[in-house]
Amino acid sequence: ETTPILSAQAIHQGDYRTIFNTYEKIKSYCKENNYTIVSNPYEIYITDPAFTPNTEDWQTRIIYEIE
């Protein structure tokens, strides 16, 4: 059984070297909309670099729990 949570999420498209920008956009969204981030973020890798050699096609979902 899982408990529903409120979260702020985004999908980062591209190389992991630029993923910091996506994190910052989520944080800015939360600040502008008066949400508080209550946990460390986690990532879900949508594509696997072993099977997707083009870095422009990589996708990673970034999730922050908020309140």
How many beta carbons lie within 10 A of that of residue 21, not counting itself?
10
CA distance 61 to 2: 19
Res. 15: pLDDT tops 90: yes
Alpha helices in the chain (DSSP H): 19-32
Nearest one of 12, 9, 21, 23 to 55, comparing CA atoms: 12
CB of 22 closer than 8 Å to CB of 61: no
**pTM score:** 0.89
What is the residue-averaged pLDDT of the chain? 96
